[in-house]
Amino acid sequence: MLQVIRDRAQGVIAWIIIILIVVPFALWGINEYIQDDTVLLAAKVDDVEVPLQDFQRSYQNERNLRKRMLGNNFDPSQLDDAEVKQTAIERLVNATLLAKSATDAGFVVSNAQLAMDIRNMREFQVNDRFDQARYASLLQSLGLSQAGFERELRQQFLTEELMSGINEGEFVLAKEAEAYGKLNHQRRSFDYLVIPAKGFEKRIQVSEADIKAAYDQDQERYKTPEQVTVSFIELSRQALARKIPAPSDDVLKQLYADRQAEFGQPEQRHAHHILIEVAKDADEATVEKARKKAEALRKKILGGASFEKVARKESADTGSAQSGGDLGFFERGMMTKPFEDAVFSMAKGDLSEPVRSEFGFHVIRLDDVKKAAVKPFEEVRGRLLRDYRSSKAEDEFFENADRLTDLVYEHPDTLEIAAKELGLEIQTSEPFTRDRGIGVADEAAVRAAAFSSEVLTQGNNSEALQLDGGNRLVVLRVKHHEPSHQQDIKEVSAEIRKALVAKEAGEQAGKKGAELVKSLRDGAAPKTVAKEMGQSWQASGLIRRNSGGVPDAVRERAFTMAKPAKAGSDVVGGVALNDGGYALIRLHTVDDTGSVDKKPGQTDADVVAETLRQRQADQNALRSSWVQRENAALLDGLKERAKIVIYNDNL
C-alpha cells in the first residue's frame, strides 16, 4: 500500500498535491496587503499616508478644545463644523509634513531615546517610577494604541529637533529690545477738543423723499427678526427639594445621631494674659530682666492686686490690655504654641508662671473651660433638614426625570399630560430670537431646541433638555411663532430720520473739524477755536498707548501723529469719533525714555524691579514675534515644495 503511494507520488499526482499545499501558503497573509489598500486616507503628504483614523482623533481634539474654551456656552448646534474640520486636517497635515521633512533632512529619534523619554514622563509614573500597566491603561483611555502613541511622539520629537534652531536659537539683541521698549512704553502728552455731532443736528433737514430713498436702498435692515414664544415645563432639583415636607424630629434626630462626628466642637478656654515684650533674639540679660519683671507682676497679683488693672497698665499686648488682658474663648490652634500649651494645661482659676513665647513673657490666668462638646441638635437642625430634603429630592428628581422623558415622548403634541402627572406648572417664555433671549431662553440649548425643525416646523415637544449640569430639565413646545417680516416705512420712518440726521451731522462735524485742523496749523489760536465751538480743550497728561481716561480713537490717533520737531511746536491732527463727533488734537511732547512711573506707595526698588520685568516682557514679545514669523516661513516653504493631497470626500 505505502509502496503504491510512493510510486505514484513521483508522478503527476505528487505535483498536484504539492501545488495544492503551496498555493495556500504562498497566499497566506496576502489579504492583509489587500486590506491595507482599502484603509481610508484623510490626506497624503508626498508619499506619507495619513489614515482617516488619525483625522478623526484630531477632529475630536479640536471639538473638545472648543468645548473647553467655551465652557457652559458651548452649543454643538452653533459649532461651525466645516471650520473645525478644516483646522483639524490642517493641523494634522502640518504635523505630518514637519515630521516627514525632519526625517528627510536626516534627523533621527532612536528607540532608546524614545523609550527613555516615555519612561521619564510623569504621567506614566507610579511612585516616581515608570509603570507599564499605567502606561497601557492611560493610553487606552485616550483611545491610542502604544504603537500609535510612540509614532506620534516620535513625530513630535523630530519636529522639535527640526525647529530647535528657529525656536530655541532665537535671540533678541540689546539694541532691538531697547528700541522696542522706547516704542512700546512711549508716552505722549496732548490736548484734545471734541466737536460733538449733536451741535449740528438742529440745522439739518431731512425730507420724506430722503427717508423713502434710504428705506428702499436698505430694505433688509428693516426686517424684524424671527421670534418664538414657547411653553415649557421645568423639573428642577432645587424646586423639588423645597416641596419635600419636613420630616418629624425623630427622623432628623436619627440623622443627627448618624453624623455625630461632623458636629463635634473642640474644647475652648477663656484666659486673660499680661505680656512683657522681649524680642525673639534678645540677649540673655534682656530676657532675664523681662522674666524678673513678669515674675514681679505675678507676685503683685498673688499679693492681691487686680489682674485687670495690672494688665491695663503693664501689658505690651495693647489689643487685650484695654480689656484687662481678656482674650475671650479660643480653641487649640488659634494661639502661639507655647502659650496654648500653657493655657491648656492649667486648671481653672490658676495664675501661671511667666511663659516664654516668641513675643515675650506671658502671665496667664485661666478663667473658664468649655469642655469639648457636640453641637446641640437645635443648632444643626436647619442643616440636617436641608440635607434631608436634598437627598430625598435627588431620588424623586431622577424618578420624575425618567417619567418626564417618557411622557413627553409618548404625547409629543402636548405638555399638559406630563405637567399634570408630575405636578408641574406650564410656564410661558418671553419672545426670543435664535441668538438672544432672557429667562429660560438665555440658555443656548433652549434656543437651539426651539428653532429646531422637529419643534418649530413639526410642532412637537422638544426632548428633555438638561440644564445646569443636569440639575434642571426643561421640555418645551412652540406657543407662538413670529416669522421675520418687512416693516412698513411708517413704522420705521422716525428711526430712519434719526439715522440720517446723525449721519449728516457727523459729516458736517468732520468737515468743520478738518477746517479747524487746517486753521490751527496755519496758526489760529487754540483758545479762539475753543470759543468758536463752545467747547474746551482737555489735557491728556503724559499717557501711554494703553492708558485709559482718553477716548480710544483720540489716543490712538495721538500715537500715530508725527512727533513735534521741538518743544513748543505742537503737531495738530484730527480724528472722527465713533459717535459721529470729531476731535482736534494738539500733540505737545513725546517721551521715549520708556521709564516706569512710580506709583504711590512704591519704593525705588519696586520701580527697578518693575523696569526689569518690563524689559523681560519686551524681550519675550520681540522674540516670539520673530519666532512666529520664522516658523510660518519654514512651514510655508515646506508646503510649497511638498505635494499635499487632502481627500475631502473622506472627511
Partner 1 sequence: MANYETEEQQLQAIKSWWNKHGNAVSWILLVVMAAVAGGRYWIAHKEQLAESAATEFAQLRNELHAGNYEAVEKRVKYIQDSFGDSPYAVQAALLKAKADVDQNKLPDAETALQWVLDHEAQPEIKAVARLRLARVLASEGQQERALTVLGQGDSGTLLAGYEEARGDIYRSMGRVEDARMAYQKALLATPKDQDRRILQMKVDDLGGAATS
The answer to whether residues 326 and 316 touch, using CB atoms and an 8 Å cutoff, is no
Beta bridge partners of 227: 482
Element (H, E) at 8: helix 2-9
Cα dihedral across residues 350, 353, 354, 355: positive or negative: negative
Among 74, 107, 377, 409, interactor with partner 1 by CB under 8 A: 107
Q: Which among 611, 540, 599 is positioned nearest to 188, based on CA atoms?
A: 540
Site for partner 1 in 186-225 (CB under 8 A): 186
Q: Does 168 bind partner 1 (CB under 8 A)?
A: yes
Helices (H) then strands (E): counts for the chain: 25, 20
Among 166, 204, 206, 492, interactor with partner 1 by CB under 8 A: 166
Query: Site mask, partner 1, residues 56-95, x = CB under 8 A?
Result: ----------------------------------------
The answer to whether residues 432 and 228 touch, using CB atoms and an 8 Å cutoff, is yes
Q: Mutual orientation of helices 526-533 and 489-521 as an angle, nearest 10°? A: 160
Q: C-beta of 160: minimal distance to partner 1 in Å?
A: 9
Q: Does 571 bind partner 1 (CB under 8 A)?
A: yes
The one segment of 28-36, 180-188, 240-248, 435-443 that binds partner 1 by CB under 8 A: 180-188
Among 65, 70, 438, 632, interactor with partner 1 by CB under 8 A: 632
Q: C-beta of 522: minimal distance to partner 1 in Å?
A: 14
Q: C-beta of 640: minimal distance to partner 1 in Å?
A: 7
Q: Output 34-42 pairs: Cβ under 8 A, ≥24 positions apart.
A: 40/647, 40/650, 41/647, 41/650, 42/89, 42/92, 42/646, 42/647, 42/650, 42/651
The one segment of 43-51, 182-190, 277-285, 298-306 that binds partner 1 by CB under 8 A: 182-190
Q: C-beta of 480: minimal distance to partner 1 in Å?
A: 43
N-to-C CA span, the chain: 65
Q: C-beta of 110: minimal distance to partner 1 in Å?
A: 5
Of 378 and 522, nearer to partner 1 (C-beta) is 522
- Residue 41: which residues within 8 A CB-CB, separation 6 or more? 49, 50, 51, 52, 647, 650
- C-alpha pair distances (Å), 422 with each of 235, 241, 404, 549, 574: 9, 14, 8, 57, 67
Of 170 and 387, nearer to partner 1 (C-beta) is 170
What values do phi and psi take at 596, rounded to 5?
-90, 135
Q: Does 638 bind partner 1 (CB under 8 A)?
A: yes
Q: Does 560 bind partner 1 (CB under 8 A)?
A: yes
Among 49, 90, 176, 591, interactor with partner 1 by CB under 8 A: 176
The Cα–Cα gap between 505 and 198 comes to 7
Q: Which amino acid is at 136?
A: A
Q: Does 625 bind partner 1 (CB under 8 A)?
A: yes
The one segment of 89-97, 99-107, 254-262, 425-433 that binds partner 1 by CB under 8 A: 99-107
Q: C-beta of 106: minimal distance to partner 1 in Å?
A: 5
Q: What's the grid cell of residue 434?
A: 435664535
The Cα–Cα gap between 385 and 379 comes to 12
Among 630, 644, 645, 651, interactor with partner 1 by CB under 8 A: 630
Q: Which residues bind partner 1 (CB under 8 A)?
A: 105-110, 112-113, 161-162, 164-166, 168-176, 179-180, 183-184, 186, 545, 557, 559-563, 571, 573, 621-622, 625-626, 628-630, 632-634, 636-638, 640
